Structure 1
Amino acid sequence: MVWKILSALSAACLAGAACFAWLNQQDLEKERNRLSFANTNLALAQTRKVEGDEALKVKQELLASSQKERDTSREEVLKLTAEAQEKEAAMAVIKGNLDQVTAQVTSVEKQIADAGDIEKLVAQIEKLKKEQQDAEGAVANQNQRVASAKEQYDYVVSQINTLRDTEAQGRRGIVSPDFTARVSQYFPEWDFAILSKGNSQGVFANADLEVKRGRQVIAKLKVRNVEQHGAIADLIPGTLVEGNAIRAGDMVVAAAKQSSEEAKPTGGAPVPTEGATPAMDTTVPGSPAPATSDPFGAPAAPAAPAMSDPFGAPAAPAAPANSDPFGAPAAPAAPANSDPFGAAPPPAAGASMTSDPFAN
């Protein structure tokens, strides 16, 4: 009895198991179908994703191109707007100019109407143009004359300055450092030499010179008298090198020390220092004390002692201060600060005064 019950239970269990197995088989088949469907959907989704990515890329490229076109269009719009504003401003200017031209044309038409004869006006204009050209030519000629006169004036001023410098150097007895000359003849018995250059070549009275033979200085000279193309220079005692003698043709140069303060070697009278007031010359009886005629303030040279002429001429009297080195007679006493270039004396009281020494 029991075994029947157990068999029935076993058969029921087997039937239940078979039923559950069949149900599970159905569920498994459904799950497999679902998995296959899900895989199919996944493949479709991936395909759609790839297509969507490609479409997105295309859309992004289209978007970038559209943005670029938009920016370009915006720049063009701004440019066109600026050009339109400029054209409007230019149009306003042109309109204003047109109004001005219209007003000018109206004014000219009115003037033409008021003028009447145009040919007469043209002839007057041509005449005025010709007169203007003539006046311009005259002005140009006058300017050329003024320029020429200024050049002549500058040249005269430069010559005056040169003459003043030369005069000042002559008053001080100073020659140029690069001065050279030759001994034309030497007289040992009177200890003086005749030089090949004179006043026109830069020799001045009381100038200090040196006699050179080769590179050696063999003697020193002091210029006594000066002519235009020659000069006489005395040998300074004690300067002739022992065993040497001055000969014709020896080179004469400016002394290394040019000083008018040294005592004169032949007369013994001291030469006044530059800027000092010289004493009154008393060598000529009855003559007044001459005031210096040098406007540059150079001192007057002392009286030169009488020297015997080796050619037999009688001794000349002592020369007064400021005597002419070329032998001209002494000029009368000149007023202070008189013009050494021969300008006219100052006018009388009440006459017009001028500071130009060259004024007529």
Structure 2
Amino acid sequence: MANVFGILTAIVLALAAYIANKNKTAYDAKITATKEKQTALADTEVKLKVAKTTLTEELPAQRTEVEADVEKLTAQEAAQTKANTALEEVTKTKSAKLAENKAKLDDFREKSKNTGDIDQLAAKLKTTLAEVEELQQSITVAEAKLSDLNAQNTASGAEVGAAKTKFENFTGGQSLATLQTRIRSIYPNWGFVTLAAGNNAGVVANSTLNVIRDGEVIAKLLVTAVESGTASASIVPDSLSSDVTLAVGDRVVPGQKAAVSTPASAPVVTPPASN
């Protein structure tokens, strides 16, 4: 009987040890999962801080600068238009004066047909021709000035149009259609890349970009921060296939703006091996 109790006791102890070991394994797994979630939370908080800085500091400054450029160019266009109008009025006045002098010359010629004083007629004719030539030169100069002003007005209009396009893209969260750049560096642990171009080349914060390789879109990027000559962008979740790896030098062009949800964890991208 004692042996039976001893055996039962050993079985109970073994079972208890097995359960305790299993509980410890589950506890350790829970601790590991908690640490991973804390790491992901820290990464998300860093990205949120960067995004808040962009929204509260960089974007308002950039928008103010673009609005100032548009206002300046618009004022220049208005001044140029006013100057052109004034010059056109001067040209009209000169043309009317030329027509009047021509009429006088024709009348003078008609009246002087039967005159006998050739020397006096020649002197008057010479004076009149000199006045006509002077008026013609004045009109030529005025037309040249008008042509220059029209060219300046056209250039100013083009600058205003470019500034308005830049402003519309900026406020609409869309990079310029002419943008052509490359991936400069990749940070797989953070899930973002840096670009070899910034707002000078038309990169706009919060815009969507396409990564192109062999003529196909292999991934999408969301611009999070922009400087004059560089920018950083997060890799849009689910836009990168599991069998595709981004590489430094991949071509980047503007894409269609789309709503992007915050990922539970950043996608892991392996940077290319250094040469």
TM-score (norm 1): 0.38
Higher helix share: 2
Larger radius of gyration: 1
* More relative contact order, 1 or 2 (CA 8 Å, 6+ apart): 2
